[in-house]
Amino acid sequence: MKSSFRLGIDTGGTFTDLCLTDGTTGTVAVAKVSSTPSDPAEAVINGIKKLITENNLKPDQIGFLIHGTTVATNALLEGRGAPTALITTAGFEDVLLIGRQSRPRLYDFWAQRPMPIVPRSRCFGAPERILHTGEVLRPLDPEAVKSFIHKIRGQGIESIAVCLLHSYANPIHEQQVKSIIQSVHPRAFVTLSSEILPEYREYERTSTICINAYVMPKVNSYVRHLEDMLRAMGVASELYIMQSNGGVISAQMARESSARTVLSGPAGGALLGVHLSDALKTPNIITIDMGGTSSDICLIESAQPKLTTEADIEGYPIKLPMIDINTIGAGGGSIAWTDAGGALRVGPRSAGADPGPVCYGRGGKEPTVTDANAILGRINPTYLLGGEMGIHLEKAREVLEEKIARPLGIDIMQAAEGIIAVVNANMVRGIRRVSVERGHDPRDFSLVPFGGAGPLHGVELAQALNMTRVLIPAHPGIASAFGMLSADVRHDYVQTLIITSDRVDGNQLDSIYHDLEDQGKTQLAREGFSGDRVILSRLADMRYSGQSYELSLPVPDGKITGAVLNSLFKQFHRAHNQSYGYRREAALIEFVNLRLVAQGILPGSRLEEAESVNQEPALPMCTRTVWFQGQSIKSPIYERSGLAYGQIVGGPAIVEQLDSTIVIPPKFKGVVSEMGNLIIEQEL
């Protein structure tokens, strides 16, 4: 009988978080260990050992293990991917350099795009041409391709991206190129655009395929290394990897489509938001996951996160389905500094896990947000992680005095409060970007702050945005790891079809959808899913004829008749009006891409719920001086594990737990829900 224990693991810049749930009892166990950037797998194994020791388990009792990894993200952001070559159609070798005409920052004369991850010297043009109809205009020249491969091999390049013109309509030439590579350079990693992204728009497609090729060797090495360590440890579960789209893929699929993991960890946090939205009957929420190096912000409307296929990571377009998450450089380890004009700035540079904030005592020399919170009394001045990590408060005070307070001519407490105010302003701007700038009023949403640092700032962020409700998960510091446990296996398929509404044929759409469904069913069957554990969802990317970008709309199952098409067109008019404020009823509508989402449903995690309300008043462990808005206030300190369903915590107060700290300012109060979430609202 397969074990009911399910383990979610999220690797962050400072800590690696683990969440273990027991499907039989609904209990949750958590662990937080320092990340090991030189070998992220080491922290994963350390965390598992810690969890099983503390809970008296054996590795073979872990029946399901899912992991959110930052290996692909870090390889891309740090420019440490594998040397990569690009083979494209002759005449299109400059696609990556030309890009689009849009500017990174419209009014910045010095704005520069990042250099392509594949230099022009490694871009090779293959003599061949396929038309947009799929017709072969010029056959592939195998000898020319062989000469490219010999050059690539001679340069020691281990990863090759193949992106030929219109291969989404006919992949035959890309398949021939792959066969030649395997015969000439058999050890090379090969990425075909027809396998990863059979979709039009040459620049975005080429960029995505090159990114996949660039990060693939590192992801392969890491995943294989971690699989070997888990197997040697005796873990029963296969390794599953979190995708950027909120779904799960096997380790093998992650090795082949590595670019699908670039937002692996943050996607878990968005799923935690969906879980809370359902559990608390709160359909509209905004999540902010504030870790050590960054904050990931996601808007969830009607209990569903927004998906996008137009993501941009540090200037590199990735046209793969992923949850729409806005990431900013604001975390607990964000470094405070003064610019040339004497203004206080915070981030985006971070102290990370090594050396970390000054107060961690690991050699940090720059003041950070965590140091400011410690000086203000908001973080336990003695220890973190339940006593495992000591706090060196005097070191933090010395550095803050030297680097911030003295240069600005203010006292140390004003400097600390200034750091908090600046980083809060940065996060408020990030929240506005996913809400106000997209037509959503933040006052219609509840704020869900999590991550190790999120609950320290959550209520103040809500105040700045006039949001009236803050929801703190039961285990905020490992929220992304917990969210991963609610994910299902997911595969996305796409086929470009550009055709206007006056020429569209429902039978043609049916045929394409059936082909995509066959691919989805086959893949899920290989992974052990069948029957009612398989869910197939159709989507169509549509636009008014002549437009450059499209909206993605759901398409009903079954035969696509004229009536179904008419209903779809009306749905598009409504969606366009909602998104852009106008509709053009007389204009032709154009189909661009047909999509299919194939999901394999995994068993969910059942959580413990309190059976009755606790009428006793909450009792603090102690009191200490905490600074709020320029005043030192003696505030009660509560242990979160000691709070029960129905108990109320009035501000000012601090609630401490293993994985995070919650700040409740004056004039606010928190109430514990039946599933252990803390609901904070302003006192009337």
β pairing state of 316-318 and 248-250: unpaired
**What phi, psi does 2 have (nearest 5°)?**
-70, 140
Query: Matching CATH topology for 80-214 and 489-600?
Result: no
CA distances from 543 to 199, 504, 592 (A): 16, 14, 8
Residue 603: band (very low, low, confident or very high) from pLDDT cuts 50, 70, 90: confident
pLDDT at position 389, please?
Answer: 72
Mean pLDDT over 631-643 rounds to 93
How far is it, in rounded angstroms, from Cα 320 to Cα 260? 7
Sequence-ordered list of residues with C-beta below 8 angstroms from that of 8, at least 6 positions apart, any chain: 18, 19, 66, 67, 68, 268, 478, 480, 481, 482, 483, 484, 485
Structure tokens at 327: 């990431």
**Nearest alpha-carbon partner for 530 in 599, 605, 603:** 599
pLDDT at position 294, please?
Answer: 83
- Output the CA angle 323-293-672, nearest 5 degrees: 70
Question: What b/e string do you get for 635-665 counting C-beta neighbours within 10 Å, with b at 16 or more?
Answer: bbbbebeebbbbbebebbbbbbbbbbbbbbb
Q: Is the pLDDT of residue 611 over 80?
A: no
**421-452 tens-digit pLDDT:** 999 999 999 999 999 988 899 999 999 999 88
β pairing state of 446-450 and 285-290: parallel
Residue 2: band (very low, low, confident or very high) from pLDDT cuts 50, 70, 90: low
Mean pLDDT over 387-391 rounds to 75
E strands, 454-533, in order: 469-472, 489-500
Structure tokens at 152: 């690539």
Q: Which residues on neighbouring strands pair with residue 598, listed in sequence order?
A: 491, 536
Q: Confirm if 106 and 112 have CB atoms less than 8 A apart.
A: no
β pairing state of 84-89 and 159-163: parallel
Q: Is the pLDDT of residue 350 over 90?
A: no
Structure tokens at 285: 């929420």
Residue whose pair of structure tokens reads 């992991």 in the numeric block:
67
In this structure, how many other beta carbons lie within 10 angstroms of the beta carbon of residue 345? Answer: 17
Q: Confirm if 318 and 262 have CB atoms less than 8 A apart.
A: yes
**271-297 tens-digit pLDDT:** 999 989 988 899 999 999 998 878 899
Least confident piece of the model among 71-80, 244-253, 405-414, 588-597: 71-80
pLDDT at position 387, please?
Answer: 65
How far is it, in rounded angstroms, from Cα 448 to Cα 267? 15
Sequence-ordered list of residues with C-beta below 8 angstroms from that of 611, at least 6 positions apart, any chain: none
Could you tell me if residue 530 is left (phi over 0), alpha (psi between -120 and 50 degrees) or otherwise beta? beta
Q: Is the pLDDT of residue 658 over 80?
A: yes
Sequence-ordered list of residues with C-beta below 8 angstroms from that of 356, at least 6 positions apart, any chain: 14, 292, 333, 362, 364
How far is it, in rounded angstroms, from Cα 300 to Cα 269? 11
How far is it, in rounded angstroms, from Cα 665 to Cα 649? 11
Least confident piece of the model among 70-79, 119-128, 159-168, 356-365: 70-79
Decide which of 93 and 307 is more confident: 93
pLDDT at position 92, please?
Answer: 95
* Mean per-residue pLDDT over the chain, rounded: 90
Mean pLDDT over 114-142 rounds to 94
pLDDT at position 108, please?
Answer: 79
**What phi, psi does 517 have (nearest 5°)?**
-65, -40
Sequence-ordered list of residues with C-beta below 8 angstroms from that of 288, at least 6 positions apart, any chain: 295, 296, 297, 427, 430, 431, 447, 448, 449, 450, 451, 454, 458, 461
Q: Identify the helix (H) or strand (E) that includes residue 207.
A: helix 202-233
End-to-end CA distance of the chain: 53
- Output the CA angle 405-407-408, nearest 5 degrees: 65
Q: Confirm if 373 and 420 have CB atoms less than 8 A apart.
A: yes
**Nearest alpha-carbon partner for 219 in 191, 185, 246, 178:** 191
Q: Confirm if 164 and 141 have CB atoms less than 8 A apart.
A: no
**Alpha-carbon torsion angle 328, 331, 337, 342, nearest 10:** 50
pLDDT at position 604, please?
Answer: 66
pLDDT at position 385, please?
Answer: 65
pLDDT at position 27, please?
Answer: 84
E strands, 58-211, in order: 62-68, 84-89, 123-126, 129-130, 136-138, 159-163, 189-192
With helix as H, strand as E and coil as C, how does 589-609 read? EEEEEEEEEEEECCCCCCCCC
**258-278 tens-digit pLDDT:** 999 988 888 899 999 998 998
CATH topology of domain 489-600: Dna Ligase; domain 1 (3.30.1490)
Q: Is the pLDDT of residue 112 over 90?
A: no
pLDDT at position 1, please?
Answer: 38
Could you tell me if residue 390 is left (phi over 0), alpha (psi between -120 and 50 degrees) or otherwise beta? beta
**299-322 tens-digit pLDDT:** 999 888 888 887 877 778 899 889
**Nearest alpha-carbon partner for 261 in 538, 535, 11:** 11
pLDDT cut 70: percent of the chain above it: 97
Q: Is the pLDDT of residue 401 over 60?
A: yes
**455-511 tens-digit pLDDT:** 999 999 999 999 999 999 988 988 889 899 888 889 999 999 999 999 999 999 999
Q: Among 69-83, 314-328, 530-544, name the most confident range.
A: 530-544
Residue spans per domain, the chain: 80-214, 489-600, 622-682
How far is it, in rounded angstroms, from Cα 91 to Cα 98? 13
pLDDT at position 374, please?
Answer: 94
pLDDT at position 605, please?
Answer: 62
Q: Confirm if 596 and 198 have CB atoms less than 8 A apart.
A: no
Mean pLDDT over 350-359 rounds to 82
Residue 84: band (very low, low, confident or very high) from pLDDT cuts 50, 70, 90: very high
The pTM for the full model equals 0.84
From 3.40.50, 1.20.1070, 3.40.1360, 2.70.98, which CATH number describes the 80-214 domain? 3.40.1360
Write the DSSP symbol of residue 635.
E
How far is it, in rounded angstroms, from Cα 548 to Cα 577? 17
Least confident piece of the model among 26-40, 189-203, 552-566: 26-40
